[in-house]
Structure 1
């Protein structure tokens, strides 16, 4: 079991599940539900954090980890901005 955790295979599986979740929620969004932009930036933030974990587990160069964390931060800021903008309405 430690080999599976250290290899990052579980992170890959989680990323596939997040992508499937995004697809299903976008299909569901056609009828009702949260806005597409809010949904996508929220999922992107989590996916970028998982990519950062994957990079760390795989021993990737530091710039990949930094890029993934920067993407997570940017998506988080976008998510907050969308939430605050909709709350102000």
Structure 2
């Protein structure tokens, strides 16, 4: 069990769960309302943070960690923009 945590494979499992959740949300939202955009960028932000954790645990080069964190930041900004745009309506 400790190897699962220190190797980063636990993050792989969490990313698979997030991917499944995103797929289910897209299917569900298609039937209910138009566009799952805000939910998907929120999931993308979390997924990018998990990728950053995975990169750190696996000892990946710093550029992979920086790219994952930049992706998380960009998804977070997109999430805020979508939420503020919706609130302004």
The TM-score normalised by the length of structure 2 is 0.95
**1:3 & 1:34 partners in 2: Cα distance?**
43
**2:22 & 2:66 partners in 1: Cα distance?**
24
How far 1:8 sits from its partner (Å)? 0.7
How far 1:47 sits from its partner (Å)? 0.2
Q: Point out 4+ residue stretches in structure 1 off by more than 6 angstroms.
A: none
The TM-score normalised by the length of structure 1 is 0.95
Any gaps of 5 or more consecutive residues in structure 2? none
Distance 1:34 1:80, change over 3 A: farther
The one-character-per-residue Cα deviations of 1:52-82 (angstroms, maximum 9, x if unpaired) are 0000000000000000000000000000000
Question: Aligned Cα RMSD in Å?
Answer: 1.2
Partner SS, residue 31 of structure 1? helix
Number of residue pairs matched? Answer: 89
Any gaps of 5 or more consecutive residues in structure 1? none
Matched with 2:37 is: 37
Matched with 1:14 is: 14
Matched with 2:88 is: 88
